[in-house]
Every structure is written in C-alpha cells, then in structure tokens.
Structure 1
Amino acid sequence: MRNTAKFTTAALAAGALTLGLTACGSGNAATDTSGPLIVAASPTPHAEILNYVKDNLAKKADLDLQVQEFTDYVTPNTATQDGSVGANYFQNQPYLDDFNKKNGTDIVPVVTVHLEPLGLYSNKVKSLDALKSGSTVAVPNDTVNEARALKLLAANGLITLKDGADNSATPADIAKNPKNLKFKELEAAQTPRSLNDVDAAVVNGNYALSAGLKPAKQALALEKAENNPYGNFLAVKKGNEDDPRVQKLAKLLTSPEVKKFIADKYAGSVVASF
C-alpha cells in the first residue's frame, strides 16, 4: 500500500493550515535525514511519477520515499518551508520565483524532471477559428500561470500582448483583442471544471490529465516544449539540497527508467526534460 495522503485547499482553510501541516510528518521531515523523505506533489503526473519511483526504484537505491498529494499550488511550498515535508514536486521556475517573492520563502530547485504543456480546451468548438467574437475564456488566476495562458493565446494569434509583457502579464496587458475575448479568472484547479460554462479554458497540464483530457489530442492549442521555461522540478528549502535522500531521489527522477515511464504513460502529454 502506498503511503499517500490527499489534501484539498478547503480542508486546510481558516486556521487549520498549521495544524494540518504539522500532522503531515513525524518530526521535522526536512532536517531528520535518517527518516523517510516525504515529498509533497500534485496528484497528476507528479505523484504518479514519484509512486513509480517508490514502487520500482527506491528500494534498490535504499531510499524510503513517501508521497503526499496536494490539489492546490500553495500548500506544497508552505509545507516544504516549515519542514512538514522534505521536498516538493509540482512547480516551475517562474511560479517559484513569484511565490518566494510574495511569501518570503526560500525554496530552491534541485533537478528539472518534466514539462506539462499548457493547453487551450473547449467543449463547444473544435478549432481556434470557431471561437466567436465575444467568447469567454477561462484562465488560471495565479500570477505566473495567467501570464503563461495569455502568452499561449498570443502565440496562436488570438490576442496581442503589449511590448514588455512578462511573467506577471494580465488581461490589462492585452494590446489587441480582435475577437473581443472575455476572460474569466479562476483558480488553476477549477479551469477544467469550467469547460461547460465557458467557451474555452486554458488548463495546466496536470489538471488537464486529472480531468481526463488528452492534451496531445484534444487541445486546440498547446505550448511547444522547445526552449520552454516551465519545466517542473523537485524542490527543497534552501540548505537541504545536499540531503542524501534528496540527491538519491534527484538521480532516480532523471533515470532512463523514469524517462521511459513518462513516454509510455503520457504519450506526449507530459515530456521528460532530461
């Protein structure tokens, strides 16, 4: 049986955060290098990849690996910072930079593992050209992923962003909007659930997979993997990079076995970055 715990944002709201995180680990998971390495992860594909390592590779490497699943993009970093978990695996560099800046945390990447291309999906149209004037498009509401979503739309000719629009771009940075698209800003996890209520939605790769979407086949538009800055990595609190457990996991996550697992399981919807 896998040592996997699932948490939702709602379950950790209104003051329960500290108590819930303390209960995640026994002692301080980040400093007790003699105990298991507890890694916080998004369910898909991160926890799936970690559980493949746990079930097939960790024992031979003498690594006691435990996986805790979180369905939001905040708690894994909070838990890593306070030591409730020893590492996390769910995010990219622009998101982490923004999180550290806003929250005063000092979390750092260890090794990049994969890319989940961001995609535009629709239950109402089958092509970009079919999007009508005035269509509503759902986009993630966190700083980095909203900018990333707008860049995807711009790269596919739906909008034009102002010169200098960066990783904090919002709809206010749109210079041209020929289809007069309207934007509905939602928590990233909610975007696939909005597909029946909007004309299209930009969905992060992990949430698309969790919702049963097939990015490589169903996306109206999909990020290109080449020179993409949004690779997802294993991360720890600064100072814990040389933890031998973390180093073992980093090596396993970038092994030929994991590369083959990603290629076989996700068929292009998730792409190894090593």
Structure 2
Amino acid sequence: MKRNKIIAVLLSAALLALALSACGSKSHASKEDSPSESGQKTESAAKVTVKLGVVGSIYEDLWKPAKEALKDEGIDLELVQFSDYVTPNNALANGEIDLNSFQHRIYLQNEIDSHGYKIQNIGNTFIIPLNLYSRKLSSVKELKDGDTVAIPDDLTNGGRALKVLEAAGLIELDPNAAFNPTIDNIVKYHVGIKIEELKANVIPSALSDVTAAVVNGNYALDFGLKSDEAIYKDSVLDVEEYWNLIAARTADLEDPDKAAVYEKVVKAFQSPETEKVFKDTYGGYFIKAGWDQNLLAK
C-alpha cells in the first residue's frame, strides 16, 4: 500500500509538471502572436503588401523614399507599372491593385463620371508642368500657319494642353469651357496651327513627325525631354484640379485597418525625402501640392 501511494504521488507530480509546461508553451506562443508591451505587433503579424499602380518609370524614383520608410512600418509597397492612363483606374476598381498614383483630380473625376468607379482621392502628391516641345523649333514664336501641334487625346489632359496653347498665345478658348475645353471650344486661332490629338504615351516618339507637341511630364522625362528644352513652359500650376493624387477604392476605406495602412502610405510620400527627389533628381520638375490637406480625416 505504502509503495502504491508513493507511485501515485510521483505520477501526480509528473502530470502536474507536464501540465505546467504545456501552459507555459501556450503562453509564449500567444505572446508572439499578440501585440507587444509597446503596442506594436510582431513583424510577421504586421507585414502587409500594398500594390500601387503607376504610369512611367519616374515613379520608381519618386516613390523610393516612401517605399524605404514603409518597410519600417511593416508595409511592402509594390509598384505596378502600366503603359497608359486608361488601365490603372480599371485595375483599381476591379481589385487588381490596392492604390494608384498617376492622375490629377480632373482626370479622376472624369473616369468616375464615365465608368462609375467607386474610387476616390486619399492624398495629394504634386503638380507637374505640361510643356510644349519641338524637335524643329527653338521658340513658340516660330510656329506659323499650317504647322501641326500634337496634344493628348484624352479629355482632361487634352483640355489642359489647350489651356497651355492659349497661355502661349496660339489660340483663344471659350471662357465658359472651364477645366475641360475641347478643340470645339477654340473661338480664335492667333496662329493657324493644325491640332492633332494623339495618345499621350506616343506623343514623345511622334515629336519628330509634328512641328511641336504638348507632352505630359512623366512621358517627357521617360523620353529624356528636359524642362529647359521646352519652347513654352506651362505656367498654370496653382489650380487644384490639376494636382496629382493617390487613389483608393472607397469600399476599402470602410475597413479601419486598410485605411490606417493607406494613411501611412500617403504620409510616407508626403515627406522631405520625397521633396528632395523632386529638387535634386528632377530639378524641381515636380512641385509638391496639397500636402497640408488631410483627405483621410474622419
């Protein structure tokens, strides 16, 4: 009997030790999977990938500081390149990407009106000039009757290009045309130029085939066109409708976790490091705009 009691006691002790050990292991695992004492999650729990749609290789440079800063936040910012302005909003609306950053406010609104996209601006980025370039002329004053000037064929960039031609003294637009004038809104030609509408992404390569062309900033940079080579520089830079932006799906913003991540993306871009790239890498070609507007504020 005494021997049986001793065995029973030893067995109970072993079982107790095993139970305590199991509880200790569970507690340790739970601690790793939950927020730390500082309130931060572990790296494995916090890491998230955000796909950002862009148009043009320059965005790799523009977003590099933000991409590096976001790593410390556990966010892997993946840039997805598109070759035109039509696809990125469709890809965003369909959930193929999480955000995009390539367009200004007028273009976004036109896309929403045309396609019913449920997407919206969550942060301003910059404004870039829409300059007039030529392989054949050294000054806008050299343009004459019969010369061909190419502009983007999309409504918003084409409208802005017409405003550039007006500011350059080549045409006069109907003042009621607002921000989206078309060729039909030209009320007077001060110089009898022929305006040819082309896809924005092909205009730089077609520059030798026309007398001059209004070239979107990102494509101008991709093709090595420097702002000081322009025969006329865009001077309309303080209009908010022409500010570029970061867009997200409206439905995603209803998720507090996603909204918090996207807010970090916006703040990472709107930084002194990004502005340094504007100035040092691109000679001030890009100008920060609207960084004081918190578009994600509740």
Q: Same fold (TM over 0.5)?
A: yes
Which residue in the other structure is 2:201 paired with? 189
* TM-align CA RMSD: 1.6
Is 1:109 aligned to 2:101, yes or no? no
State whether structure 2 residue 88 is matched by structure 1 residue 72.
no
Matched with 1:18 is none
What is the identity, as a one-letter code, of the residue corresponding to 1:57? A
Give the match for residue 287 of structure 2: 271
State the alpha-carbon separation in 1 of the partners of residues 188 and 287 from structure 2: 32
Listed as ranges, the matches of 1:132-143 within 5 Å are 132-143=144-155
Separation of aligned partners in 1, 2:188 and 2:285: 30
User: Structure 2: which amino acid aligns with 1:266?
Assistant: Y
Measure how far apart 1:228 and its partner are.
5.0
Which residue of the partner structure matches residue 42 of structure 1? 55
Between Structure 1 and Structure 2, the one with more helix by share is 2
Contact 2:47 2:75 in 1 (8 A): no
Q: Deviations over 1:138-180 (max 9, x none)?
A: 0000000111000011012110012311233211111110211
Which residue pairs with 1:255 in the alignment? Answer: 271
Question: 4+ runs of 1 displaced by more than 4 Å?
Answer: none
Mapped to 2, the partners of 1:124 and 1:76 lie a distance apart of: 34
Q: Where do 1:164-183 residues align within 5 Å?
A: 164-183=176-195
| Residues 70-99 of structure 1: CA deviation (Å, up to 9, x unaligned) | 111011111110111100000000000101
Count of paired positions: 240
Residue 29 of structure 1 aligns with which residue? Answer: none
2:17 is matched with which residue? none
Structure 2 counterpart of 1:99, from 111, 119, 139? 111
Could you tell me which residue of structure 2 aligns to residue 149 of structure 1? 161
Amino acid at match of 2:92: T
Are the equivalent residues in 1 in contact too, given 2:47–2:76 (CA < 8 A)? no
SS at 2:266's partner residue? Answer: helix
Q: Distance in 2 between matches of 1:74 and 1:172?
A: 23
CA shift at 1:34, angstroms? 6.6
Give unpaired runs (5+ residues) of structure 1. 1-32
Q: Distance in 2 between matches of 1:186 and 1:112?
A: 27
Q: Is the 8 A contact 1:42 1:70 kept in 2?
A: yes
TM-score where L is the length of structure 1 = 0.83
Larger radius of gyration: 2
After TM superposition, the score normalised by the length of structure 2 is 0.77
Q: Which residues of structure 2 form unaligned runs of 5+?
A: 1-45, 292-298
SS in 1 for 2:75: coil
**Alignment partners' CA distance in 1, 2:57 and 2:187:** 35
